[in-house]
């Protein structure tokens, strides 16, 4: 089963980071967050990827085109115009990189991948979120039902503490960043059937998370997979710092690979 990754957004809330690179190339522990996402899928045996490019997509192409150079030692012979890569450890990945347009919305980007996916089921996620989702269990859950889309839902951590106050103005309950108070949200890590493309006929301006998913849900074909473990989206510079702190301290719960 192929894994489709949405990697074309502008990532404006990451400030200077995304002035020079696309959001999926922002690094955690010296590796792009896109690499971390792909390693998560690869850990469960899914090694064929379709990456939907947009903003500065050429940098993602160059990263994978020069993957051996990034991973190993190199001898460059300027006299004979030769390059020798040593210790060229790589991944068992097959990667298709699709240019889907700078301003194309998520549904339009996905529609652009149709010819590369055929009529088979595929996985879909965002290029800015990591999690310790059991992807094989997710796929098995999807296979047991007839839904067009199985969506992993998560409860994000609250950004601020919560207080309750009595009638005299005294705080009688204080909770620092209580988990789950924001309810369940779309966490990516979806599994889709080919029939999902029937809901994407409005072209480049189609936002997948609006009319398509709303209509799929209305038709009773959107299945929930609740994930109670780790999940975090790298939406802001603060998120990037937190993810790097987790990685540097050895507490990166999404790292299941050896």
Which residues share a beta bridge with 84?
75
**Looking at the domain assignment, is residue 33 inside a domain?**
yes
Question: Which tokens hold the place of 148?
Answer: 């067009």
pLDDT for position 48: 98
- How remote is the C-alpha of 91 from its chain's centroid? 18
pLDDT for position 111: 96
Element housing 206 (H / E): none
Per residue, what are the HEC states of 112-125?
A: HCHHHHCCCCEEEE
Residue 161 CA to residue 242 CA, distance in Å, equals 18
Question: Which tokens hold the place of 233?
Answer: 């989206």
Question: Which tokens hold the place of 88?
Answer: 């060229």
Q: Which residues, other chains included, contact 186 with Cβ-Cβ below 8 Å and sequence gap of 6+?
A: 151, 152, 153, 209, 213
pLDDT for position 161: 65
CB 136 within 8 A of CB 44: yes
Q: What is the CATH number of the domain that holds 170?
A: 3.90.550.10
Full DSSP string of 46-82: --EEEEEE-TTHHHHHHHHHTHHHHHSEEEEETTTTE
What total number of domains does the chain contain? 1
In this predicted model, what pLDDT tens digit does every residue of 77-108 receive, in sequence order? 999 999 888 877 789 999 999 999 999 999 99
**Looking at the domain assignment, is residue 256 inside a domain?**
no
Q: Which residues, other chains included, contact 183 with Cβ-Cβ below 8 Å and sequence gap of 6+?
A: 155
Q: Which residues, other chains included, contact 171 with Cβ-Cβ below 8 Å and sequence gap of 6+?
A: 163, 164, 165
**Looking at the domain assignment, is residue 148 inside a domain?**
yes
Per-residue pLDDT of the chain (258 residues), as tens digits, is 999 999 998 887 888 888 899 999 999 999 999 999 999 999 999 999 999 999 999 999 999 998 988 877 889 999 999 988 887 778 999 999 999 999 999 999 999 999 999 999 999 999 999 999 999 999 999 999 999 999 999 998 776 566 677 777 776 766 666 555 568 899 999 999 999 999 998 788 999 999 999 999 999 999 999 999 999 999 999 999 999 999 999 999 999 998
**Looking at the domain assignment, is residue 253 inside a domain?**
no
Count of H-run helices and E-run strands, the chain: 9, 16
**Looking at the domain assignment, is residue 39 inside a domain?**
yes
Residue 154 CA to residue 156 CA, distance in Å, equals 6
**Looking at the domain assignment, is residue 109 inside a domain?**
yes
pLDDT for position 181: 56
Domain range spanning residue 213?
Answer: 2-248
Residue 89 CA to residue 72 CA, distance in Å, equals 7
**Looking at the domain assignment, is residue 35 inside a domain?**
yes
pLDDT for position 56: 96
CB 51 within 8 A of CB 65: no
CB 127 within 8 A of CB 109: no
Question: Which tokens hold the place of 258?
Answer: 């050896």
**Looking at the domain assignment, is residue 255 inside a domain?**
no
pLDDT for position 179: 58
pLDDT for position 90: 80
């Amino acid at each position: 089963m192929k894994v489709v990754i949405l990697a074309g957004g502008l990532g404006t809330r990451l400030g200077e980071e995304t002035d020079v690179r696309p959001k999926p190339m922002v690094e955690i522990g010296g590796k792009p967050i896109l690499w971390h996402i792909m390693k998560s899928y690869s850990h469960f045996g899914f090694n064929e990827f379709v990456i939907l490019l947009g903003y500065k997509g050429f940098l993602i192409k160059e990263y994978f085109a020069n993957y051996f150079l990034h991973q190993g030692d190199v001898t460059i012979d300027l006299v004979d115009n030769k390059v020798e890569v040593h210790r060229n450890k790589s991944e068992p990945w097959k990667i298709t990189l699709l240019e889907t347009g700078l301003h194309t919305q998520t549904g339009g980007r996905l529609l652009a991948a149709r010819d590369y996916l055929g009529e088979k089921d595929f996985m879909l996620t965002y290029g800015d979120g990591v999690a310790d989702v059991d992807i094989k269990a997710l796929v098995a859950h999807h296979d047991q039902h007839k839904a067009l889309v199985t969506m992993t839902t998560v409860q994000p951590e609250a950004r601020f503490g919560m207080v309750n106050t009595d009638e005299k103005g005294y705080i009688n309950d204080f909770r620092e960043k209580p988990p789950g108070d924001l309810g369940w949200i779309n966490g990516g890590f979806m599994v889709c059937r080919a029939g999902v493309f029937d809901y994407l006929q409005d072209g480049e301006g189609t936002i997948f998370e609006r009319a398509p998913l709303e209509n799929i849900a209305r038709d009773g074909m959107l299945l929930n997979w609740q994930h109670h473990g780790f999940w975090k989206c790298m939406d802001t510079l603060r998120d990037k710092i937190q993810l790097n702190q987790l990685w540097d301290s050895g507490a990166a719960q999404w790292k299941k690979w050896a």
